[in-house]
Amino acid sequence: MAGLEVNASSSTCRMCGTAYGKLNGYFYKSLAQLYKGVGYLPICKACLDFLYDGYLAQCNSPRDAVRQVCRKLDLYWDESVYKKAEKDSNARTIMAGYVTRINTYKNSGKSYDDSLEKENALWTFAEQRKAMIAELQEQEEKSEIEEDVNSSEAEIEPVPDDIKAMWGAGYSDEMYRELEDRRQYLMVQLSKDGVDLSQTGTQTILRQIVATELDINRGRAAGIDVDKKVNTLNSLLGSALLKPSQQKGGDEEDTPLGVWTWRYEHERPLPDIDEKLKDKNGIRKYVTIWLKGHLAKMVGLKNSYSQMYEDEIKRLTVDKIEYDDDTDDSFLADLFSYEGGEDG
């Protein structure tokens, strides 16, 4: 035993890796069968306390924490030994007290297996495993029976000929069912929205919409570019007047201003202006030229208003008459002359 204490490997803690010069004083002695070759636990006292504190923090029970350490290190668990250690120790030191008291010649060579055997619980896990296997086998048998019953009862009905004729040849039964289910769903939803589905053309476009939607969904699942299909779908929705901008009614607050403008321009355009209300005196032109045009000219803007203002000013500007021989006599003669001739 003395030779083992000077061995560096035997005096190294297997948990923290600290190498001590000797085992005595740093490791707890143990008479358990698993450690009889060395006579000490493989972890130092500090690590044993650390292990115990971790379990104590989880279960908040010194008894359960001590027993868990015993199970971890394959130490013999005895309820009476624990009660003796509990009387002489507190919650922090009870682990050391228990390990010291369990090392008696009476308990020499015993392990945690002996504790379980005394409680008739050594092979409990094996019994639990057998019960679990039996339960799983029972569930599998029930599942197989249910599958057989469902497969025998749930016979798939063939697709009616009229549905095949409506959608055309070339589809599988599964696709026929998908197309028809989607068509029926859309018809119900569109009927709720007040869409007239009695027209043959509307029904034809609706079938094309459903088929295009199916192509888009399958293409996306396969990672194929579906942009062209989406454009085709939008065109079909427009042909059937099913776009949101083409729908009437609904909440007025959610309708964009552009949609209302389009509706009024195409469905309820403004009537011709009454003769009594027409701008006969040119007030609009007057305000445009002398207010908007004058303001634009003042601030230096070059636009249609300022151009109208300049044109109007040019039109109203009087040009001065120029004379080659500008004399007072000729000027006065022109000034006081009139079409009827000279006075007198």
Question: Same domain, yes or no, for 183 and 73?
Answer: no
Number of domains in the chain: 4
- pLDDT for position 140: 81
83 and 129 belong to one structural domain: no
**How high is the pLDDT of residue 338?**
55
Q: What is the pLDDT of residues 154-197, one digit of tens each?
A: 566 788 888 888 888 777 888 888 888 888 888 887 777 667 77
Is 146 in the same domain as 91? Answer: no
Same domain, 28 and 53: yes
Please, are residues 179 and 170 in contact by the beta-carbon 8 Å criterion? no
Cα 326 from Cα 344, distance rounded (Å):
26
Mean pLDDT in the chain? 80
- The per-residue pLDDT for 49 is 92
pLDDT given for residue 240 in this prediction:
66
Identify whether 270 is part of a domain: no
Predicted TM-score of the model (pTM): 0.38
133 located within any domain: yes
User: Which of these ranges, 19-33, 76-90, 168-182, 317-331, has the smallest mean pLDDT?
Assistant: 317-331
341 pLDDT more than 80: no
Pairwise CA distance, residues 344 & 332, whole Å: 16
**Comparing C-alpha atoms, which of 183, 175, 190, 182 is closest to residue 204?**
183
Residue 260 inside a domain? The answer is no
- The stretch 58-83 carries a mean pLDDT of 91
**What's the confidence (pLDDT) of residue 289?**
92
Residue 199: give the domain boundaries: 161-246
Q: Is residue 254 part of a domain?
A: no
**What is the Cα–Cα distance from 23 to 43, expressed in whole angstroms?**
10
From 155, 172, 203, the end of a domain falls on: 155
Residues 33, 114, single domain; the answer is yes
Q: How far apart are CA 324 and CA 42, in angstroms?
A: 133
Q: What gap in Å lies between CA 68 and CA 66, rounded to an integer?
A: 5
119: CB partners within 8 A, 6+ apart: none
Domain assignment of residue 328, yes or no: yes
pLDDT of 3 strictly over 50: no
C-alpha span between 195 and 202 (Å, rounded): 10
Residue 167: name the closest of 126, 119, 124, 206 by CA.
Answer: 206
H or E element at residue 34: none
Q: Which of 105, 136, 155 is the last residue of a domain?
A: 155
pLDDT at 4 over 50: no
Residue 19 β-bridge partners: 12
Answer whether residue 180 is part of any domain. Answer: yes
Nearest of 10, 27, 149 to residue 99 by alpha carbon: 27
User: What pLDDT shows up at residue 6?
Assistant: 44
Please check whether residue 255 lies inside any domain of the structure: no
Residue 178 CA to residue 159 CA, distance in Å, equals: 11
Chain CA centroid to CA 36, Å: 61
What average pLDDT does the segment 137-154 reach? 70
Given a cut of 80, whether residue 329 has pLDDT beyond it is: no
pLDDT of 116 above 60: yes
**Residue 166 and residue 144 share a domain:** no
Residues 197 and 242 in one domain: yes
- Tell me, yes or no, whether 7 and 113 share the same domain: yes
Structure tokens at 34: 């698993």
CB 48 within 8 A of CB 99: yes
pLDDT of residue 245: 58
Nearest to 98 by CA among 38, 36, 56: 56
pLDDT at 344 over 50: no
pLDDT category, 9, cuts 50, 70, 90?
low
Strand partners, 29: 40
- Residue 139 tokens read as 């569930």
Task: Give whole-number Cα distances, 297 to 307, 315, 318, in Å.
Answer: 9, 16, 21
User: In terms of domains, do 166 and 229 share one?
Assistant: yes
Kindly calculate the radius of gyration of the chain based on its CA atoms and give it in whole angstroms: 52
Residue 259 belongs to some domain of the structure: no
Q: Are residues 302 and 280 in the same domain?
A: yes
Say whether both 11 and 116 belong to one domain. yes
Q: Are residues 211 and 316 in the same domain?
A: no
Q: What percent of the chain has pLDDT over 70?
A: 83
Length of the chain: 344
CB contact at 8 A, 63 and 83: no
194 within 8 A of 249, measured Cβ to Cβ: yes
The pLDDT confidence band at residue 288, using thresholds 50, 70 and 90, is very high
Q: Using CA atoms, how far apart are residues 97 and 88, in angstroms rounded to an integer?
A: 8
* pLDDT higher than threshold 70 for residue 34: yes
Alpha helices (H) along 222-256: 227-239
Spatial contact of 23 and 100, defined as CB atoms under 8 Å apart: no
CA distances from 26 to 50, 124, 146, 213, 240 (A): 14, 36, 64, 77, 89
